[in-house]
């Protein structure tokens, strides 16, 4: 795939949950999209950090950024990842009040996103298990998947995973249709530039020692009921922990090709 060819990304839109997700999970496609939609803004109960996060978003050297700034639901520590339950809004939340906020946010996404996704050929977003395991990543995926039925765009997601999200991934994978997969070179220069901006504002949410992989793998689902594959089971996933440990990162830097770290789901 030529990720510089606009013909491949005509009306491509990226929808992420949080500021910095675009750098972490989508640098391979970020410079060929027409629009970046960031769904959540204020961190629950964290007023000062939330202000800094908003400043960081306004400093991003990207065009077409739309910051929905929906307040986070405060659900990160309130999901049972070892025995997850899938819901319409994402994953079951174990705290009652947080669960109400989470479900409210799902409805907000389903109201706010359609007008912004009008005319999209393809929408990139989080994978069904939320990469390393974040309930709001799962929620954004579910919103994009729900809206795909009536809006008719293709959607695509990557294969990052962690030991936290693997149970949900295995549960989802066995019944998840998809059509094609492509490996795309990451844009490490841009990803590191974005990381520096978030770090300067003190709002980078991921490991500082994270080594951006050489490639990202995107799974695409076309609209409609018929698909090339009916399960993701047996496909390759990339455990993010392997990119976070400094000593392993050194090994990765030597081989320069993180596709060697892939495992099967």
User: Who's near 135: CB < 8 A, 6+ residues apart?
Assistant: 73, 75, 76, 78, 79, 90, 91, 93, 102
Q: What are phi and psi of 247, to 5 degrees?
A: -65, -35
Residues that bind Zn ion (CB under 5 A): 17-18, 21
Helix ranges (H only) for the chain are 21-25, 47-58, 96-117, 135-151, 166-173, 188-200, 246-255
Looking at the Cβ atoms of 17 and 172, the one nearer to Zn ion is: 17
Looking at the Cβ atoms of 130 and 213, the one nearer to Zn ion is: 130
Q: How far is the CB of 56 from Zn ion (least distance, A)?
A: 14
Looking at the Cβ atoms of 28 and 139, the one nearer to Zn ion is: 139
Q: How far is the CB of 74 from Zn ion (least distance, A)?
A: 14
Q: What is the Cα–Cα distance from 154 to 124, expressed in whole angstroms?
A: 9
Cβ density class 209-222: b for 16+ within 10 Å, e for less: ebbbbbbbbbbbbb
Q: How far is the CB of 186 from Zn ion (least distance, A)?
A: 17
Q: How far is the CB of 230 from Zn ion (least distance, A)?
A: 29
Looking at the Cβ atoms of 10 and 163, the one nearer to Zn ion is: 163
In the complex, residue closest to Zn ion by CB: 18
Looking at the Cβ atoms of 66 and 151, the one nearer to Zn ion is: 66
Q: How far is the CB of 40 from Zn ion (least distance, A)?
A: 8
DSSP-assigned letter for residue 34? S
């Amino acid at each position: 795939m030529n990720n510089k060819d606009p013909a491949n990304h005509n009306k491509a839109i990226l929808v992420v949950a949080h500021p910095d997700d675009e750098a972490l999970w989508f640098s391979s496609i970020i410079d060929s999209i027409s629009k970046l939609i960031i769904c959540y803004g204020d961190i629950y109960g964290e007023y000062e950090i939330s202000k800094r996060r908003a400043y960081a978003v306004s400093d991003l050297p990207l065009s077409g950024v739309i910051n929905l700034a929906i307040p986070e639901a405060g659900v990160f520590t309130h999901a049972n990842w070892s025995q997850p339950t899938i819901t319409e809004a994402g994953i079951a939340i174990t705290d009652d009040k947080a669960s109400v906020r989470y479900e409210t946010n799902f409805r907000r996404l389903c109201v706010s996103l359609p007008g912004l996704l009008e005319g999209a050929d393809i929408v990139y977003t989080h994978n069904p298990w939320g990469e390393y395991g974040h309930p709001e990543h799962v929620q954004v995926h579910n919103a994009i998947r729900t809206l795909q039925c009536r809006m008719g765009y293709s959607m695509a997601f990557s294969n990052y995973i962690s030991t936290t999200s693997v149970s949900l991934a295995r549960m989802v994978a066995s019944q998840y249709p998809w059509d094609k997969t492509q490996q795309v070179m990451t844009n490490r220069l841009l990803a590191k530039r974005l990381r520096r901006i978030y770090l300067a504002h003190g709002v980078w949410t991921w490991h500082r020692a994270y080594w951006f992989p050489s490639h990202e793998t995107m799974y695409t689902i076309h609209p409609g009921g018929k698909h090339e594959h009916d399960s993701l089971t047996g496909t390759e996933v990339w455990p993010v922990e392997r990119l976070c440990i400094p000593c392993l990162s050194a090994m990765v830097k030597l081989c320069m090709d993180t596709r060697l770290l892939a495992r099967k789901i």
